[in-house]
Chain A
Amino acid sequence: MKVARTDFARLLSAVAKVVESRNTIPILATVCLVAEGGTLTATATDLDIEISGSIAAEGDFAACLDAKLLTGIVTKVAGDEITIEQGDGTATLRAGRSKYNLQTLPVDDMPSMAVDGFTAEFTEDLAALFAPVQFAISTEETRYYLNGIFLKGAVDTGSQAVALTAVATDGHRLAKHVASGVSAFDGIIVPRKTVGLVPKGNITVRLSASKIQFVADGTTITSKLIDGTYPDYQRVIPSRNDKIVTFSGDDMARAAGRVSVISSERGRAVKVEVVNDQATLSVNNPDSGNASEDVIVSYANEEPITVGFNSAYLGELVGIFPPGDVKMALSDGAGPVLFTSDNAPNLLAVLMPMRVH
């Protein structure tokens, strides 16, 4: 088999993303190469996600080679072309003046994921839809159904337009991003690892009850979905919070980061006291001291309000909005707090307060 080195390197880097650095099953550390009819198809899987892609090639070949080793070789060797000859349990790779003898595994050993039964298909920039909500994906293994992004295509009863909604939450923070869609489908949960593999730009998305598939630039990514029931996130999005505080997201995030330096314990609490057009952020650590910083805000309500947040949560959450003003809607300082921005009308976030002494 003969292939262009740059094309082969690009194909391997796209496919080998799914290969875990440590594998107890040897075949999962390999990439399956099958060349026939002028096309080389490379496939790799971790049993939950399968990535495959194709490039032009001359000759025939069929074997599985260690993915990390092959990727390393192909990115380092000189020459424009790579030749791989198949032996008995081995493969000989030649490029420029280099020659490598590599062990192989049979292609029949590579697990294959059934990729049929898709009931919905649409084109969307899913990476852009997922980007601002990704931070809120839970890492708790006990609540596995939160370890991904909830994606749903629902028809708006008023406008009859389809809205594509992405939601992520870890039970402390929640983010929801909406885009216009083309087809309605029941809610699915896309696993965190799959979210990280979604190609940028417009891609073709196919859905079934148990799988999702992305097709872009000759690469196909098929992933299992999380089999679970996503919590009723709508009920935690507050709709009657009437105390609106508007501030520069950048100023607030930086101030929270600065005052929280005083504390190193779990759950660095920052107390936010809003009076008139000023928010005072303060952190008190009995072991090391205290810190405070004032942030200029816009607050029309005459009633002062105090709320406590985990400073890391606050900084990360306001950072998902585009540069500019962020609106924080509160009720009484003990309920969920809603964050929105006029610069991102399709994006909202909810942050739970924390107990501050």
Chain B
Amino acid sequence: MSDMLWRPKGRHDLASFESEICAHCLDRNGEGDWEDEFGNDMPGQCVLIHYAFVGPTLQWTIKDGKRDCSCFVEDPDNPARCPRTLEMFP
């Protein structure tokens, strides 16, 4: 059975997703920082974030009851908190 798609309910929901998942992803900065047509330094960002509120993003799903991103590649220097390890202090 395919996973259900997940879509942020609002900006706070997206921010929570970014801190839980995107912040620990190697591709969080997309293709790196860039300079716009006015010479301003623009921070690099994952392309999926741009489409967060545009339409269903196929890479964002609900897997085992938790939000997930199929493009996620864990940053070994900054690993995400494991979503499936049982909690010592629930």
CA of A140 to CA of B79 in the docked complex: distance in angstroms?
12
Is the beta-carbon distance between A353 and B79 smaller than 8 angstroms? no
Is A266 interfacial (CB 8 A cutoff)? yes
Is the beta-carbon distance between B82 and A267 smaller than 8 angstroms? yes
Is B51 interfacial (CB 8 A cutoff)? no
| Chain A residues, CB < 8 A from B83 | 266-267
Q: How far is the CB of B2 from chain A (nearest CB, A)?
A: 11
Is the beta-carbon distance between A172 and B87 smaller than 8 angstroms? yes
CA of A310 to CA of B80 in the docked complex: distance in angstroms?
11
| Chain B residues, CB < 8 A from A268 | 74
Q: How far is the CB of B43 from chain A (nearest CB, A)?
A: 15
Is the beta-carbon distance between B84 and A269 smaller than 8 angstroms? yes
Per the 8 Å Cβ criterion, residues 77-102 of A in contact with B are none
Known: A174-B88, A355-B64. 9 other contacts (CB 8 A): A236-B88, A236-B89, A265-B74, A269-B84, A312-B79, A336-B88, A352-B87, A354-B84, A355-B86
CA of A266 to CA of B64 in the docked complex: distance in angstroms?
12
User: How many A-B contacts are there with CB distance less than 8 Å?
Assistant: 63
Known: A264-B72, A266-B21, A266-B24. A350 touches B86 (CB 8 A): no
CA of A236 to CA of B83 in the docked complex: distance in angstroms?
19
| Chain B residues, CB < 8 A from A236 | 88-89
| Chain B residues, CB < 8 A from A223 | none
Is A111 interfacial (CB 8 A cutoff)? no
CA of A305 to CA of B64 in the docked complex: distance in angstroms?
24
**Which of B73, B85, B88 touches A354 (beta carbons < 8 Å)?**
B85
**Which of B21, B68, B70, B84 touches A355 (beta carbons < 8 Å)?**
B84
CA of A264 to CA of B27 in the docked complex: distance in angstroms?
12
Is A339 interfacial (CB 8 A cutoff)? no
Contact with B along A300-339 (1 / 0, CB 8 A): 0000000001101100000000000000000000101000
Residue with the highest number of chain B CB atoms closer than 10 Å, among A171, A287, A336:
A171
CA of A230 to CA of B85 in the docked complex: distance in angstroms?
21
Known: A264-B74, A266-B24. A352 touches B79 (CB 8 A): no
| Chain B residues, CB < 8 A from A172 | 81-82, 85-88
Is A231 interfacial (CB 8 A cutoff)? yes
| Chain A residues, CB < 8 A from B81 | 140, 170, 172
| Chain B residues, CB < 8 A from A140 | 81
Known: A264-B74, A266-B72. A310 touches B87 (CB 8 A): no
| Chain A residues, CB < 8 A from B64 | 355
**Which of A174, A265, A310 touches B85 (beta carbons < 8 Å)?**
A310
CA of A310 to CA of B87 in the docked complex: distance in angstroms?
13
CA of A5 to CA of B20 in the docked complex: distance in angstroms?
47
Is the beta-carbon distance between A265 and B72 smaller than 8 angstroms? yes
Is A219 interfacial (CB 8 A cutoff)? no
Known: A140-B81, A172-B82, A312-B79. A266 touches B74 (CB 8 A): yes
CA of A172 to CA of B89 in the docked complex: distance in angstroms?
9
Q: How far is the CB of A191 from chain B (nearest CB, A)?
A: 19
CA of A231 to CA of B82 in the docked complex: distance in angstroms?
20
Per the 8 Å Cβ criterion, residues 119-167 of A in contact with B are 140
Is the beta-carbon distance between B68 and A266 smaller than 8 angstroms? yes
| Chain A residues, CB < 8 A from B82 | 172, 266-267, 310, 312-313, 354
